[in-house]
């Protein structure tokens, strides 16, 4: 008569698998990976041995060894292959230049600068979907006047990524634009950096952040900054990025005021005169901000005089904000090459902006300083949260 002896340790191991797998939070997983990570390993003690033997002859007739670890790992690999990332929505924040010194004119026609760049909470949202096409990206947006062809930095970034990596993903992209153009806020540069990050997620992160940062300088001087953690001392044309801890508290609010008129960056630099610019050491400005915070005397922008020549009404706007603020702002200055005037210290614009017909069409927004955690992208602060709160998740995406 045959007897059957079963040695089984499956139940506790399955429970262990459930607890370890399904308790993982999204924030602890690499972006773009499936729920089952290929590197996920199960305990090697999991096994089932079934033996059938003949009691009269004591001869073993059947022996089956069943290893759940192997089966589950194969299942995980199948899920990884079949449930790839197909849609991704990312926040694309803009930046301000807390100070901007122009230090020299280069032989190639560009200028060397030294600036404290900082990401702020105003930004666009970009929705990416994999396209069945293997030859063309399709871009749409919610505002008029934004180019949708290969002159757009989003398309340039995708072309650059495919060139550098040899990948062949093409996308449908929708840009929900909130950052005004021609504002000196780096909105287009942020869109390009965000796109490179997104393309890398869809391709399984074949490039490092450092590589993305280096490549991005080929299509724009301000783009590499956005691969910092949100605060950086930038030199060269802006592409030399020194990541620094944020020297500014996140709970300091600001207001952004941008008139309808934009400043041409090329025209501003054309009118710039190096011998008439500030001579203050930019590193001393950075040190003073780190130790004493933001004040009017440290928020130097060497591009203000030429920008005010290009757009005289911008100089008048800055002067009126300072006068009407009556001390409510720690500093009032222009960001980048204009035409946004930033008031740090209060989220509220002065009353004349609402009352005067001249300013009925200005762009207004409050904002705060933000950064991003390592290996995650920037996230829009949750509406209604305290200024400076850093939400847990950096992306919103669907798996299909």
Active site residues per annotation: 95, 222
> Which pair of tokens denotes residue 317?
């706007």
Q: How many CA atoms lie within 13 A of 139 on its CB side?
A: 22
What is the chain's Cα-based Rg? 28
> Which pair of tokens denotes residue 144?
């008029």
Q: What H or E segment, with its residue span, contains residue 204?
A: none
Residue 229, phi then psi, degrees to nearest 5: -90, 5
DSSP 8-state code for residue 385: S
Residue with tokens 């001249």: 358
Residue 331, phi then psi, degrees to nearest 5: -160, 145
CA-CA-CA-CA torsion sign (133, 134, 135, 139): positive
Residue with tokens 């990312």: 90
Q: Which residues have C-beta within 8 Å of that of residue 316, sequence separation ≥ 6?
A: none
Q: Which residues have C-beta within 8 Å of that of residue 183, sequence separation ≥ 6?
A: 94, 258, 262, 335, 336, 338, 339, 340, 363
DSSP 8-state code for residue 125: E
Rounded CA separation 77/123 (Å): 37
Which residue(s) pair with 118 in the sheet?
96, 231
Per-residue buried b or exposed e for 316-351, using 16+ beta carbons within 10 Å of the residue's own CB: ebbebbbeebeeebbbbbbbbbbbbbbbbbbeebbe
> Which pair of tokens denotes residue 344?
């740090």
> Which pair of tokens denotes residue 147?
């180019």
Rounded CA separation 208/53 (Å): 57
């Amino acid at each position: 008569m045959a007897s059957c002896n079963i040695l089984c340790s499956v139940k506790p191991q399955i429970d262990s698998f459930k607890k370890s797998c399904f308790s993982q939070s999204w924030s602890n997983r690499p972006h773009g990976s499936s729920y089952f990570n290929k590197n996920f390993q199960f305990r090697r003690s999991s096994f089932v041995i079934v033996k059938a033997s003949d009691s009269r002859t004591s001869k073993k007739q059947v022996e089956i060894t069943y290893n759940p670890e192997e089966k589950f790992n194969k299942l995980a690999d199948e899920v990884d292959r079949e449930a790839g990332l197909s849609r991704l929505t990312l926040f694309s924040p803009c930046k301000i230049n807390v100070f901007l010194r122009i230090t020299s004119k280069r032989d190639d026609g560009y200028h060397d600068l030294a600036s404290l760049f900082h990401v702020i909470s105003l930004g666009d949202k970009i929705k990416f979907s994999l396209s069945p096409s293997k030859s063309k990206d399709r871009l749409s947006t919610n505002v008029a006047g934004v180019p949708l062809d290969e002159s757009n930095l989003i398309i340039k970034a995708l072309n650059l990524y495919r060139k550098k990596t040899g990948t062949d993903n093409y996308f449908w992209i929708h840009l929900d634009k909130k950052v005004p153009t021609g504002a000196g806020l780096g909105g287009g540069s942020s869109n390009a950096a965000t796109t490179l990050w997104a393309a890398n997620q869809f391709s399984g992160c074949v490039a490092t952040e450092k590589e993305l940062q280096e490549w991005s300088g080929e299509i724009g001087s301000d783009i590499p900054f956005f691969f910092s953690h949100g605060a950086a001392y930038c030199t060269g044309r802006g592409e030399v990025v020194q990541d620094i801890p944020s020297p500014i508290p996140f709970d300091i609010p600001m207001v952004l005021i941008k008139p309808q008129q934009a400043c041409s960056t090329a025209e501003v630099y054309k009118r710039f005169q190096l011998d008439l610019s500030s001579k203050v050491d930019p590193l001393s400005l950075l040190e003073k901000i780190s130790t004493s915070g933001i004040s009017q005397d440290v928020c130097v922008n060497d591009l203000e005089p030429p920008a005010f020549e290009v757009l005289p009404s911008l100089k008048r706007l800055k002067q009126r904000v300072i006068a009407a603020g009556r001390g409510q702002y720690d500093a009032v200055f222009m960001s980048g090459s204009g035409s946004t005037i930033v008031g740090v210290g209060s989220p509220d614009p002065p009353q004349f902006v609402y009352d005067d017909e001249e300013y009925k069409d200005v762009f207004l927004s409050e904002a705060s300083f933000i950064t991003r955690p390592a290996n995650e992208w920037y996230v829009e602060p949750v509406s209604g949260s305290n200024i400076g709160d850093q939400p847990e998740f950096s992306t919103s995406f669907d798996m299909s």
